[in-house]
Chains A and B, each alone.
Chain A
Amino acid sequence: MNVNGNSATHEVPDNTLLVTFLRETLGLTGTHVGCDTSQCGACIVHLNGESVKSCSLFAAQADGATITTIEGIADGDTLHPMQQAFHENHGLQCGFCTPGMVMSAIELVTKNKNLTERDIREGLEGNICRCTGYHNIVKSIQAAAEKMS
Chain B
Amino acid sequence: MYSTKYVKATNVNKAASIIADAEDGKFLAGGMTLIPTLKQRLASPDLIIDLSDCKLTGIEDEGASIRIGAMSRHIDVAESVLVQNAIPAIANLASQIGDRQVRNRGTIGGSLANNDPAACYPSALLGLGGTIHTQNRSILAEDFLTGMFETDLEEDEIIIGISFPKPDKAAYVKFPNPASRYAMVGVFVAKFSDGVRVAVTGAGEDGVFRASNIEAALDESFKANSIIDGLVSADNLMSDIHASAEYRAHLIGEMTRRAVIACG
Which residues on A are within 8 Å of B, measured CB to CB? 13-15, 17, 36-39, 41, 44, 50-53, 55-58, 60-61, 63, 104, 107-108, 123, 125-127
Contact = CB atoms under 8 A, between A and B. Distances in A.
A37 B39 CA distance: 8
Given A13-B3, A126-B102, A57 B180 contact: no
A57 B4 contact: no
A50 B36 contact: no
Interface stretch (B93-101, B152-160, B247-255): B93-101
B36 A37 contact: yes
B225 interface: no
A44 B105 CA distance: 12
Interface string B1-40: 1111110100000000000000000001001100110111
B4 A51 contact: no
A58 B6 contact: yes
Interface centre among B8, B28, B40, B100, by most A CB within 10 Å? B100
Contacts of B28: 61
A50 B104 contact: yes
Contacts of B98: 125-126
Contact of A56 (B6, B31, B48): B31
A104 B99 CA distance: 11
5 contacts: A14-B6, A41-B99, A50-B104, A57-B35, A63-B8
A36 to B, nearest CB: 6
B100 A61 contact: no
B246 interface: no
Contact of B6 (A41, A53, A60, A127): A60
Contacts of B101: 41, 44, 51-53, 104, 126
Contact of A14 (B4, B32, B99, B104): B4
Please provide the 6 A-B residue pairs with the shortest distance between their CB atoms, ordered closest to farther: A126-B99, A125-B99, A14-B6, A38-B36, A126-B101, A50-B104
A56 B4 contact: no
A108 B8 CA distance: 30
B139 to A, nearest CB: 28
Contacts of A60: 6, 8, 50
Nearest to B39: A36
A15 B38 contact: yes
Given A13-B3, A61-B50, A38 B100 contact: no
B100 A108 contact: yes
Given A36-B40, A56-B35, A61-B31, A51 B3 contact: no
